[in-house]
Amino acid sequence: MKPGRILILLALLLIAVVIYVNKCSSGNSRQKNVAGNSKSGAPLQVSGIIVSPQTVSDQIYASGTLMANNEVEIRNEIGGRLTHLGFQEGTFVKKGELLVKIDDDDLQAQLKKLQADKDLADKNAGRQKDLLDISGISQQEYDLALNALNRIKADVDLLQVQIGKTEIRAPFSGIIGLRSIGEGSYLPANTRIATLQQVDPMKLEFSIPEKYFSLLGKNDEIQFTVESAKGSFKGKVYAYEPKIDLATRSLTLRAWCANPKNELLPGAFAKIIVPLAKMENALMIPSQSLIPELKGHKVFIAKDGNASAVKVKLGLRNDTTVQIVDGLNAGDTVLITGIMQMRPQMPVKVNIQ
């Protein structure tokens, strides 16, 4: 081989060695930089809470309907011309207040006639008694006179009952609704005139699953809200239907609820919270901190500046929190943000909420 070619080959070999050495040095440098960055990387900024024992109430949610404590349709028992309306629509009336008066002139005339017949029969029976005492008449004649008097008295009583039916008085205090007739109208018997409802207190009827029957009893308090009024209201259970509904497997209950300002209306739909039992020293965490797994749930806690995964067992749940019955201790810091990109032993900086 010629010396010139040998020199060219040696030059090419030297160039290749230099390129290889440069590449190796660059790779090692990048690996060192990556390692250095991983060691000196900033911790993940997250939020967390410190777990502490709390007193919580086990509760269920139900729906129900508000009912008037007492409700009645005002109807006339006998027909006749309406001569007086003693109420205004939508106003409060007291028990015993005259609401409706039907014309009773013919009945009053009949009563006067019977009163006159009664007075005459009473005098006749008195005279017959005097004659009987001196044996002037037989016992049978006196009995006939006394029977005539008693029959007239019975007719008077019957007529007074009929006259009483021409007046309709409020059976209880409450709010009277819209009337369907006017003064001067002729009312056939059993005509609907208006409705009367006692709205303070009110009744709330609702149902709960049968499995909760043993946890709820009389005088237990409930809370509820309605669309037609702002805020929440309280009630107290006073009775239940002693039978499970076969279709829904639920138990029907009723509760009293005060309504002094007439904010609640009969027929309104109510959303009810039924407290069942109080639980002491419960460890509650936000539901958003839970991570579902194949065989349960886990959470991340902060320990020595790093994230640590812990398997937990759940208990009571509500809208925003869940009870942890196993896996956490009081004082643990549970992470509630950044959990989707978190990995075990990842450095974290926790902002306690």
pLDDT score of 5: 67
pLDDT score of 150: 95
pLDDT score of 226: 95
pTM of this prediction? Answer: 0.61
pLDDT 10s per residue in the chain (353 long)? Answer: 556 566 666 666 767 766 765 655 544 444 443 333 334 458 888 999 999 998 877 778 899 999 999 999 999 999 999 999 999 999 999 999 999 999 999 999 999 999 999 999 999 999 999 999 998 899 999 999 999 999 999 999 999 999 999 999 999 999 999 998 988 999 999 999 999 999 999 999 999 988 888 778 788 899 999 998 999 999 999 999 999 999 999 999 999 999 999 899 999 999 999 887 777 888 999 999 999 988 899 999 999 889 999 999 988 777 788 889 999 999 999 999 988 888 899 999 999 98
Would you state the structure tokens that stand for residue 319, as one six-digit string? 């809208």
The closest alpha carbon to 251, from 214, 201, 202, 221, belongs to 214
CA distance 257 to 202: 5
Strands 348-352 and 92-93: unpaired
pLDDT score of 7: 64
Query: How many C-alpha atoms does 18 have within 13 Å on its Cβ side?
Result: 6
Domains of the chain: residue spans and CATH: 44-56+280-352 (2.40.420.20), 61-68+198-279 (2.40.30.170), 76-193 (2.40.50.100)
Strands 53-75 and 192-209: antiparallel
The answer for residues whose C-beta is within 8 angstroms of residue 89's C-beta and 6 or more apart is 176, 177, 178, 179, 194
pLDDT score of 264: 93
CA distance 190 to 78: 7
pLDDT score of 56: 78
The answer for residues whose C-beta is within 8 angstroms of residue 343's C-beta and 6 or more apart is 307
The closest alpha carbon to 310, from 297, 322, 319, 323, belongs to 297
Neighbours of 253 (CB within 10 A): 25
